[in-house]
A = this chain, B = another copy of it.
Amino acid sequence: MAKDYSLQHVSVSLSPQERFDEYLQSRAMRNTQQRRTVLEHVFSHHDHFDVETLIEQLPDKGEANYVSRPTVYRTLTEFVDAGLLRKFELGGRAIYEHDYGYPEHDHMVCNQCNQFFEFHSDEINNIRESVAQDYRFRVTGHRLLIFGICSDCAQPRRQKRKQDLI
């Protein structure tokens, strides 16, 4: 149901891993197993996720490549800093999504199933520009969420189960 962005990916020369390596080196930070584990998992598929969900999917305590909760938090912050991920808040929690190499977009959120749907709109840039001019505001970014009911949930028959309150 989400739009296919595969043909409009922003062209990038480095993989997320390579890009992160650069970031680490430029700051004299170390390439640890934990950082590799999280990075690999996060970029193995495109999805929005919260920390709880991510931790559930990573190896449990006792298993190989376990990453503790504080380290997951610390690492996600680094990814945002490195420009790999974007972060926003919804329902009292942080939501992360791919940024590096991924085209600009905004989100619809279904109030029923809490799923995200991405869309792109050029008009947002018009709004940003005109508002910036009116207020002599130097825009650095924006966040638009459109709330409502998705088409699946609008059909009472084959109703989808409510997703965990993302």
A165 interface residue per 8 A CB criterion: no
Interface string of A129-156 (1 = CB under 8 A from B): 0111011111111111111111100100
Tell me which of B119, B123, B142, B145 contacts A147 (CB under 8 A): B142
User: Chain A interface: which size bin?
Assistant: 35 or more
- CB nearest neighbor in B for A154: B138
Q: Distance in Å from the Cβ of A13 to the closest Cβ of chain B?
A: 28
Residues of chain A in range 105-143 having any CB-CB distance to chain B below 8 Å: 108, 110-111, 117, 119, 121, 123-124, 126-128, 130-132, 134-143
What's the Cα separation between A141 and B138 when bound, in Å? 26
Q: Are A144 and B141 in contact (CB under 8 A)?
A: no
Is B137 touching A146 in the complex (CB atoms < 8 A)? yes
With A89-B89, A89-B90, A89-B92 in contact, is A135–B151 under 8 Å at CB? yes
Q: Does A64 contact B (CB under 8 A)?
A: no
- Sample of 10 more A-B contacts, CB < 8 Å, known A132-B146, A132-B148, A143-B145: A89-B89, A110-B137, A117-B137, A121-B130, A131-B146, A135-B150, A136-B154, A137-B148, A140-B148, A143-B147
